[in-house]
């Protein structure tokens, strides 16, 4: 095994779980998260000389993953719109009377860019400058998107019913 292959293998072993978790928080889908993380590592490997030479190879990989997740979500949205047009999909919650407070559900309600900023800043504690680099936006945009996203999350979470031991109660 070459030195380059060994370095990539170490990078993969160190960061696979984090990239998979990031993909999950961005998409809300376990299966998609695993696939997206794998796809991101394929891209990282394809560009390994450039990635390994970057100031932050992890930021580079997170950027690849964020782009892949964004494209996956757009594709899913187009598919859902097509199904709704055929009335094959019901809206979430139409038959669900025992909703449970779920941060993931609240995250899915955020616009994609806000979700990316909130997840990277709060779930992964990525500095604003690095989030800006990962997403290809300005630090000011990261600050505003994160702030707005956190405010929206707070609003959504306050409006969700909360499950208690003896049933549900609205908050």
pLDDT in tens, 91-140: 444 444 333 347 788 888 999 999 999 999 988 889 999 999 999 999 99
Q: Are the CB atoms for 34 and 22 separated by under 8 Å?
A: no
pLDDT at 86 over 50: no
Say what the pLDDT of residue 105 is: 81
pLDDT at 22 over 70: yes
Q: Are the CB atoms for 118 and 110 separated by under 8 Å?
A: yes
SS3 assignment, position 163 = strand
What value does the mean pLDDT of the chain take? 82
Domain with CATH 1.10.1740.10 in the chain: 1-89
Domain with CATH 1.10.10.10 in the chain: 96-171
Domain 96-171 fold: Arc Repressor Mutant, subunit A (1.10.10)
Which residues of the chain form beta strands (DSSP E)?
A: 162-164, 167-169
DSSP assignment letter at 97: -
The CATH code of domain 1-89 reads 1.10.1740.10
Q: Terminus-to-terminus CA distance in the chain, angstroms?
A: 57
State mean pLDDT over 73-92. 54
Angle (nearest 5°) at CA 159 between 158 and 165: 80
């Amino acid at each position: 095994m070459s030195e380059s292959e060994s370095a990539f293998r170490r990078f993969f072993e160190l960061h696979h779980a984090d990239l998979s978790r990031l993909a999950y928080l961005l998409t809300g889908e376990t299966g998609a998260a695993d696939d997206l993380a794998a796809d991101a590592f394929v891209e990282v490997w394809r560009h390994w000389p450039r990635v390994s030479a970057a100031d932050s190879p992890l930021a580079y990989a997170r950027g690849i993953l964020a782009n892949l997740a964004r494209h996956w979500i757009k594709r899913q949205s187009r598919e859902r719109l097509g199904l709704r047009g055929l009335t094959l999909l019901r809206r979430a919650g139409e038959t669900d009377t025992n909703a449970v407070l779920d941060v993931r559900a609240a995250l899915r309600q955020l616009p994609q860019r806000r979700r990316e900023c909130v997840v990277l800043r709060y779930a992964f504690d990525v500095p604003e400058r690095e989030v800006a680099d990962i997403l290809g936006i300005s630090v000011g945009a990261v600050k505003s998107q994160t702030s707005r996203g956190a405010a929206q999350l707070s609003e959504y979470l306050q409006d969700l019913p909360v499950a208690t031991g003896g049933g549900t109660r609205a908050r």
